[in-house]
Structure 1
Amino acid sequence: MTKKLDGFRFKQFQIEHSLCAMKVGTDGILLGSWAEPGPSTKLLDIGTGSGLLAIMLAQKSPCEAKIYGIDIDAAAIKQACHNAAECPWPSKLSFDVLPIQSLPANQQYDFIISNPPFFVAKRGELAPADANYMTTTRRQARHLDSLNLDQLMQAVRGCLSPQGQFNCILPAQAKQIDELAEAHGLYCQRRTWVFSKANKPAIRQLLCFSKFQNDILQDNLVIHTDAGGYSDSYKQLCQGFYLNF
């Protein structure tokens, strides 16, 4: 789901314009709305991009919270810094050009979030005129070339505090994700299956992991009604971030 969402605003913004550089997609909105940071004060956004999830967490987190966003794309971090400066919570936010594998081993976080790359890149080079062509930075953001799920889980396990949570969004078809996480000492606590419409197959899964093994809480979320509008459940989930909800 890569479609840009028109009319997106943070409800608590005291500025009249939206963030000009903010790239807003359905996956990010779903994850940022679904995530529950609670009282967490040390938060990490892996692959922050333009800072969308980090700023959503800033809106939802305690006043003393510090959110650290990292990305391997310097241009994305520049956008994230700009967007953070324009939002009401700049003191909560900081960003760095840094791969998760280079995060200091002694850094631990209460709450980690990621909208990770999960598409397998096409082999070979494509011409810019090809419909499937992607720039290098977009390929890094969307594909598994620079960070696969095994590497992500291993890195999260190392920097997640003992009581911490890791939240992410993946395709519904992602196979054996629970087994992969468990191999790194992470256990699914909560899963929401996301459907574009009620009569369609699931397209995404929202996931919350921790270092403790419990029964998994599962539910479903349908984004659109049969008539094409947003469902009541989607509006309720995302209403903190849409003025028209």
Structure 2
Amino acid sequence: MSNPYFQFKQFTVWHDKCAMKVGTDGVLLGAWTSVQNAHKILDVGTGTGLVALMLAQRSLPDADIVALEIDETAAGQARDNVTRSPWKERVEVVQTDFRSYQSSDKFDVVVSNPPYFVDSLECPDRQRNAARHNDSLTYEELLEGVAGLLAEDGTFTIVIPVDVADRVKMIAAVKNLYAVRQLNVITKPGGVPKRTLITFTFSNQECVVEELLTELARHQYSEEYIALTREYYLNM
């Protein structure tokens, strides 16, 4: 049986009740997303609460974070993880469907590690299906919701498969959201990117594209990956 929790330097994430466990995608999203000057942050599909807690660790002391999760069991575990963390007063876990979520406040930063398998075979686990497949929240619905909740000068950052990046950019442009930063992730030397992180804003400007190699060999991490994650991982 896999470990029921993942220990970081300043907090612990229990994930035994969640369909999607702590993984590299979430860690990259939490470490790479800019939260400079952000006072209101929204995490769409928080799962274990990992990304919300990572952003709480390095955001402003008065930054408030709302973490949305549709699955009741996952939302409960995320609340437990937040309660055990140093930032329980700043992070609110809300169990709701993002498509019906409303807020009187606009958010400076919105992040999402969304369901990522499109038109693929579904696995028999209902909870895992909802977390992995975008049938329950399409990219169109996600971006429409983000466009309505994002502050005028805010940023939206997402981690997605490389092969849907162009499609997501096209959908975003319809909502007047434009890619300004992109990080293509390579997991081994000579490999091709399978995941990418993209930051969108309402300001249409040139997109700065970079690459990140995570591992030089099995469990031998690159200097760039260590620099990005050392404030979180115990052994970095």
Where 2:109 maps in the other structure, the secondary structure is: strand
For the 8 Å contact 1:189–1:214, the answer to whether it is kept is: yes
Structure 1 vs Structure 2: percent identity of aligned residues?
Answer: 34
Q: How far, CA to CA, are the matches of 1:94 and 1:206 in structure 2?
A: 24
Distance 1:227 1:152, change over 3 A: closer
- Match status 1:94 vs 2:88: no
Correspondences of 1:201-212 after superposition (within 5 Å): 201-212=192-203
Q: Show the counterpart of 2:185.
A: 194
- Cα distance, 1:60 vs. partner? 1.1
**What is the CA deviation profile of residues 109-133 of structure 1, one whole-angstrom value per residue up to 9, with x for unaligned ones?**
111000001202546xxxxxxxx73
- Match status 1:145 vs 2:135: yes
Paired amino acid for 1:89: W
Give ranges in structure 2 of 5+ residues lacking alignment: none
Counterpart pick for 1:135 among 122, 125, 136: 125
CA RMSD, Structure 1 to Structure 2 (Å): 2.0
Q: Show the counterpart of 2:73.
A: 75
**What is the CA deviation profile of residues 76-110 of structure 1, one whole-angstrom value per residue up to 9, with x for unaligned ones?**
11001100010111101111111111122633111
Normalized against structure 2, the TM-score is what? 0.91
Q: How far, CA to CA, are the matches of 1:19 and 1:30 in structure 2?
A: 15
For the 8 Å contact 1:19–1:86, the answer to whether it is kept is: no
**What is the CA deviation profile of residues 2-31 of structure 1, one whole-angstrom value per residue up to 9, with x for unaligned ones?**
xx8999533234xxxx33337311110111
Where 1:163 maps in the other structure, the secondary structure is: strand
- Cα distance, 1:228 vs. partner? 5.1
Q: Show the counterpart of 2:58.
A: 60
Where 2:48 maps in the other structure, the secondary structure is: coil
Give ranges in structure 1 of 5+ residues lacking alignment: 124-131
**What is the CA deviation profile of residues 179-227 of structure 1, one whole-angstrom value per residue up to 9, with x for unaligned ones?**
2110111000100110111211111111100111111111100111046
Correspondences of 1:155-166 after superposition (within 5 Å): 155-166=145-156
Normalized against structure 1, the TM-score is what? 0.88
Paired amino acid for 2:193: A
Q: Show the counterpart of 1:126.
A: none
Paired amino acid for 2:59: S
Paired amino acid for 1:69: A
Paired amino acid for 2:60: P
Distance 1:181 1:224, change over 3 A: same
Distance 1:227 1:46, change over 3 A: closer
Q: How far, CA to CA, are the matches of 1:171 and 1:54 in structure 2?
A: 21
Q: Show the counterpart of 2:118.
A: 120
- Matched residue count: 230
Q: How far, CA to CA, are the matches of 2:3 and 2:133 in structure 1?
A: 22
- Match status 1:19 vs 2:19: no
Structure with greater proportional strand content: 2
Where 2:55 maps in the other structure, the secondary structure is: helix
Paired amino acid for 1:135: D
Paired amino acid for 1:114: S
- Match status 1:167 vs 2:165: no
Where 1:240 maps in the other structure, the secondary structure is: coil
Q: Show the counterpart of 1:234.
A: 225
For the 8 Å contact 1:45–1:113, the answer to whether it is kept is: yes
Q: How far, CA to CA, are the matches of 1:191 and 1:237 in structure 2?
A: 15
Where 1:225 maps in the other structure, the secondary structure is: strand
